[in-house]
Amino acid sequence: MNQAIRRKLDRITDILWAGGVTNPVTYIEQISYLIYLKLLDEEESSRELKARLMGEQANGGAELLFPQQAERYRWSKWRFKSGNELRDYVRDEVFPYMASLVKEEPQIAEYFRDAVLEIIDPNVLKQVVDEIDGIDFARLGSDVKGDIFEYMLTHLGQSALNGQFRTPRQIRTMMVEMVDPDFGDSVCDPACGTGGFLIDAISYVLAKYSTEPTEVPIYGEEWLDERGQTLEEARKANPNLQVYRKGPGEKIPDWGILEQSMYGIDVSRQMMRIAMMNLVLHGIRHARVRRANTLSEMGGLSEDDLNRKYKVILSNPPFAGQLPKESIRKDLPTNSKKSELLFLGVMMVSLAPGGRCAVVVPEGLLFGSTSAHVELRRKLVEDYDLLAVVSLPAGVFKPYAGVKTAVIVFQRPLSEAKRDKKAHQERKIWFYDIEFDGYDPNKIQGGGRPETPERNDIPELLRLWAAYRQSGFTNPPGVEANSVLEAGSVVPRCWWASLTTVQGNDYNLAAGRYKPQVAEKAPDDDPVELIRETIALERSIIEGLEQLLHEVEADQ
């Protein structure tokens, strides 16, 4: 994304904020509407050109988004309007038309259903329309269009309104790599927010199916430009620099399968729209993103939604809140009303045989002593293969939330009937304690934490994870739980516990419960001298007590 586009986006932000659109979620939603209308107009122009080249009648083809009688709703037909006429036309004519395309374009209709234009000032709307009109999206690659939306989403980083904030990229990319999605895998985020996990899963698959993928620092490509470094130079200066891979995915055999394997659900219609636009601008036009409450049978889920199983689940669901018992899905493996337990239950029942899940959970879920906590952990450990518990730094979600969290990674057995129960009982659970995640744990600057590329435990975690996976998840790195290490040993970052050990601790899954200890170093002093010093000290204490006794007796 070049500086001209960045300046244009900054101007749009300034215009909207000055015009009273100050809620970051609303700001992004309103911009999404207008960008979508511009994209649809460009798509229509492309279809018209294709029709002419094929010798067809452009305005009579069923493929057009805007047949002749609806051409007036195209961006290019009304963008020249101004004042109240522009505002009223977009609000009262364009939005309702888009929402009416239920049969012709159901995804577009769903996007604009209940859409409200909240840019009240017509002059502000005109300025924003003019700025967006100056962006030729058709000439931009999906990478640049994706960067445009990612840049807009940084405004969510300045607020945690309604609990909406984005999972940091370093955590998302770590989780995606741990579950290793592949082409054809159905991928779901049941609390998708802005769609970050789905975007990262797509990027991971595209890189896997690229001839020459490139590596990008978690801080972005511009971070290298600002430092005047190549990636090799940055890595030499910071061996712990975390990167992720990108590529065009030219070896993807069927783009349609990739698009339709992405599923996102969010209870907020605003966030659903933002996630959908995020995917569209990243080149994924037909992902299955919808608004629903994934925890409730009355939350808008269809029978297909309730019964669908996914090969990969990635999520950072909201932790707070409770649902009325009558609204909760009946197929969940918990009778709790707490959302964090319900979301984990949803992922457990929604995982396909052989499927993998990585989910952020509050640490209290790992050691809570209520019967609901213990029973859900028991089912997770006994009925699934719990592969890893990754303890995250306390400040990973600062400044938006300070709750201590962890990532749990588990998979569903291929077949319960064929499961080797003896082999399962011999399984081990891997624990990794991340102290540093590439950002300062204590400072907040400009609404976020400053980068510390030299301090990041995630690259080492991923290297060890690769070896763990290579062993078929039978040989976890590190030492055994609660080991006592020799004095002077380095405090380990990872360790493992046998299933038997976890069962004996009420299925407590907190990493700290099993952390190995380093023995204290034996003193170097001569033991004879230590004994003499102890005797001398004892004599001094006795003499003092005898003196005190004489004084008390003298006063009686």
What share of residues in the chain are helix, strand, coil (percent, to 5)? 50, 15, 35
Check: CB of residue 251 under 8 Å from CB of residue 209.
yes
Q: Give the whole-angstrom CA distance, residue 281 versus residue 194.
A: 12
Of 340 and 297, which is predicted with more confidence?
340
Domain boundaries, the chain: 3-140, 157-518
How much is the mean pLDDT over the chain? 88
Q: What is the pLDDT of residue 47?
A: 78
DSSP 130-147: HHHHT--GGGS-HHHHHH
Structure confidence at residue 158 as a pLDDT band (50, 70, 90) = very low
List the beta strands (DSSP E) in 371-444. Answer: 385-391, 405-411, 428-433, 437-439
Q: What is the pLDDT of residue 58?
A: 42
Structure confidence at residue 157 as a pLDDT band (50, 70, 90) = low
Q: Give the whole-angstrom CA distance, residue 19 versus residue 120.
A: 8
Check: CB of residue 456 under 8 Å from CB of residue 241.
yes
pLDDT at residue 362 above 80?
A: yes
Phi, psi of 414 (to 5 degrees): -60, -40
Which of these ranges, 150-154, 285-289, 301-305, has the smallest mean pLDDT?
150-154
Of 46 and 362, which is predicted with more confidence?
362
Q: What is the pLDDT of residue 185?
A: 97
Model pLDDT for residues 482-520, shown as the tens digit of each residue? 888 888 778 899 999 999 999 999 999 999 999 998 877
Q: What is the pLDDT of residue 162?
A: 42
Q: Which residues are CB-contacts of 543 (< 8 A; sequence separation ≥ 6)?
A: none
Burial class (CB in 10 A: 0-12, 13-18, 19+), 445: exposed
- Tokens read off for 372: 């609901």
Give start and end residues of each alpha helix (H) in 238-299: 255-260, 269-281
- Tokens read off for 230: 């190549």
DSSP 177-205: HHH---TT--EEETT-TTSHHHHHHHHHH
Check: CB of residue 385 under 8 Å from CB of residue 411.
yes
pTM of the model as a whole: 0.86
Q: What is the pLDDT of residue 399?
A: 62
Q: What is the pLDDT of residue 546?
A: 84
Give the mean model confidence (pLDDT) for residues 366-384.
94
In CATH, what is the architecture of 157-518? 3-Layer(aba) Sandwich (3.40)
pLDDT at residue 159 above 60?
A: no
Q: Give the whole-angstrom CA distance, residue 30 versus residue 116.
A: 9
Model pLDDT for residues 55-78, shown as the tens digit of each residue? 654 444 446 678 777 889 999 999
At the topology level, CATH places domain 3-140 in Ferritin (1.20.1260)
Model pLDDT for residues 105-142, shown as the tens digit of each residue? 888 888 999 999 999 999 999 999 999 999 888 888 77
Model pLDDT for residues 192-239, shown as the tens digit of each residue? 988 999 999 999 999 999 999 999 999 887 888 888 899 999 999 999
Q: What is the pLDDT of residue 63?
A: 64
Check: CB of residue 434 under 8 Å from CB of residue 392.
yes
Model pLDDT for residues 388-419, shown as the tens digit of each residue? 999 999 878 766 666 789 999 999 998 776 67
